[in-house]
């Protein structure tokens, strides 16, 4: 069965789990519970650009993770997830170290570790996470989990939560150093600072950003999950980072630069002879130009031009950067043949996970039916679809309907 959900009418609200599942898992307690929500993200355009110091254009989405949090009278943190049977307990009075046996709990544990290092007076708390965000599908459930933990625990400690940039940076550090995933800053930024109906134009070098209104009108962004877990993603991701650094070293014999996005193609041609390294650089330089064009055409409401840029971005990631893989190529190929599609590309690191397509609203069911049958025939896998829109970043939902 194909899945079409998360349209505007369906907010990521998970009220019922609060009372029933929470009390079942944690028992009755003396303190009031509070609830928080962090969205996942898509990257509209600017892929493999964050670690090259450039401009990216992610948006938070209306799929996310919710946390119900109830303070305790001791210094224990007890974490449950509706999506993972492993219960996690952390004693705030003892050093928090990475522990493979803690499984998914290392994501929140790393954030608690960083908050304690910053001197935040954390409270013992019972927590239940529940989610509408697929895990490991390239929609940044890991960043959502980290940012949600930081925001919730800061709020419960009555510490300021308004510096969302600082929260994003703290969570990136936790994912890099505690969990050991070498991610850039884009995911945490989008999850923390997303805004309804806006994309974020983020400079990954300076961390300056501004919002680009996304007026979709008669169109919608459809997320297409290949249902293929990302394979080789970590090793290939690290390899691409190393290749970009190798190009930069060759260019730096001439003039030092902060990131590969600042190089010109003529510089690359005169300093880099290796054909693979040239193609990697070509993706980075051309993708950066596409991000700049995309922000202009989006601001002008030219969705046809935006769609073409998405498709060009996918071709560059497939041919020059070689991070798409057969499943993402199959689903994007199917999308481009399907009714109502203005453009499509992979989103996230690649090698499986999700792609996005810009689709006429009136054609969405024809579109998903067509993509499903072509993709199923090509791969034997059942895809999932989420009709999505740009949503707010992390926030408290206590008291919301
Ligand atoms: P992505 O960020 O693309 O979803 P990652 O591999 O970076 O994929 O992060 C997925 C990991 O994040 C999961 O394996 C799990 O450890 C953790 N995680 C995400 N969401 C949840 C959740 N709702 N419950 C428990 N763990 C989660
Ligand atoms: Mg992740």
CATH at 306 = 3.30.70.890
Mean pLDDT of the chain: 92
Helix (H/G/I), strand (E/B), else coil: 254: coil
Per-residue confidence (pLDDT) for residue 23, from 0 to 100: 84
Please check the confidence at residue 349 and state whether its pLDDT lies above 90: no
Q: Are residues 301 and 244 in the same domain?
A: yes
Q: Are residues 204 and 250 in the same domain?
A: no
Q: Domain span at residue 359?
A: 219-388
* Percentages of the chain per state (helix, strand, coil), in multiples of 5: 45, 25, 35
Q: Which residues contact 291 (CB under 8 A, 6 or more apart)?
A: 45, 46, 49, 54, 55, 56, 57, 201
Find the Cα–Cα–Cα–Cα dihedral 128, 133, 138, 140, rounded to 10°: -50
Per-residue confidence (pLDDT) for residue 45, from 0 to 100: 98
Q: Beta strand pairing status for 76-81 and 125-131?
A: parallel
Probe target for ligand 1 pocket from 41, 108, 136, with the most ligand atoms within 8 Å of CB: 136
**How close is the Cα of 362 to the center of ligand 1, in Å?**
33
pLDDT tier, 17 (very low <50, low <70, confident <90, very high otherwise): low
Probe target for ligand 1 pocket from 145, 182, 237, 349, with the most ligand atoms within 8 Å of CB: 145
Q: Are residues 247 and 292 in the same domain?
A: yes
Ligand 1 atom closest to Cα of residue 349:
3
Q: Are residues 103 and 160 in the same domain?
A: yes
**How close is the Cα of 138 to the center of ligand 1, in Å?**
10
**Residue 328's closest CA among 233, 213, 396, 250?**
233
Catalytic residues: 187
Please check the confidence at residue 319 and state whether its pLDDT lies above 90: yes
Per-residue confidence (pLDDT) for residue 9, from 0 to 100: 35
Ligand 1 atom closest to Cα of residue 353:
3
Section 161-184 average pLDDT: 94
Per-residue confidence (pLDDT) for residue 325, from 0 to 100: 93
What CATH code is carried by the domain that includes residue 133? 3.30.230.10
Q: What pTM, to 2 d.p., does this model score? A: 0.94
Percent of the chain with pLDDT over 90: 82
Is ligand 1 within 6 A of the CB of residue 141? yes
- Within 48-91, strands assigned E span 55-71, 76-81, 84-91
**1 located within any domain:** no
Q: Are residues 151 and 237 in the same domain?
A: no
Q: How many domains does the chain have?
A: 2
Contact of 190 with 200, CB cutoff 8 Å: yes
Q: Are residues 161 and 281 in the same domain?
A: no
């Amino acid at each position: 069965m194909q899945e079409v959900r998360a349209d505007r009418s369906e907010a990521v609200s998970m009220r019922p789990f609060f009372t029933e599942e929470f009390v079942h898992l944690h028992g009755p307690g003396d303190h009031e519970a509070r609830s928080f929500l962090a969205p996942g993200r898509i990257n509209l355009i600017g892929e493999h650009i964050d670690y090259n110091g450039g401009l990216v254009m992610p948006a938070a989405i209306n799929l996310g993770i919710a946390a119900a949090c109830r303070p305790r009278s001791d210094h224990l943190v007890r974490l449950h997830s509706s999506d993972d049977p492993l219960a996690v307990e952390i004693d705030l009075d003892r050093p928090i170290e990475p522990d493979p046996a803690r499984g998914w709990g290392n994501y929140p544990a790393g954030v608690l570790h960083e908050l304690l290092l910053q001197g935040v007076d954390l409270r013992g708390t019972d927590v239940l996470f529940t989610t509408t965000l697929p895990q490991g599908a390239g929609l940044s459930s890991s960043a959502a989990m980290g940012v949600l933990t930081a925001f919730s625990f800061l709020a419960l400690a009555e510490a300021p939560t308004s510096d969302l940039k600082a929260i994003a940076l703290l969570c990136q550090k936790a994912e890099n150093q505690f969990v050991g995933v070498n991610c850039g800053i884009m995911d945490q930024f989008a999850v923390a600072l997303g805004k309804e109906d806006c994309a974020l134009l983020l400079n990954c070098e300076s961390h300056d950003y501004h919002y680009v209104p996304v007026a979709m009108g008669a169109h919608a962004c459809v997320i297409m999950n290949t249902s293929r877990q990302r394979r080789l993603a970590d090793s290939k991701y690290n390899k691409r980072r190393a290749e970009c650094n190798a190009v930069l070293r060759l260019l730096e014999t001439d003039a030092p630069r902060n990131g590969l996005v600042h190089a010109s193609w003529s510089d690359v041609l005169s300093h880099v002879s290796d054909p693979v390294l040239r193609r990697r650089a070509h993706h980075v330089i051309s993708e950066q130009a596409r991000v700049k064009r995309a922000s202009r055409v989006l601001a002008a409401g030219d969705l046809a031009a935006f769609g073409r840029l998405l498709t060009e971005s996918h071709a560059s990631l497939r041919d020059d950067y070689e991070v798409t893989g057969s499943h993402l190529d199959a689903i994007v190929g199917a999308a481009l043949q399907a009714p109502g599609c203005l453009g499509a590309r992979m989103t996230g690191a690649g090698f499986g996970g999700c792609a996005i397509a810009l689709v006429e609203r009136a054609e969405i069911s024809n579109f998903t039916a067509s993509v499903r049958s072509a993709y199923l025939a090509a791969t034997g896998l059942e895809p999932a679809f989420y009709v999505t829109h740009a949503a707010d970043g992390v926030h408290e939902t206590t008291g919301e309907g």
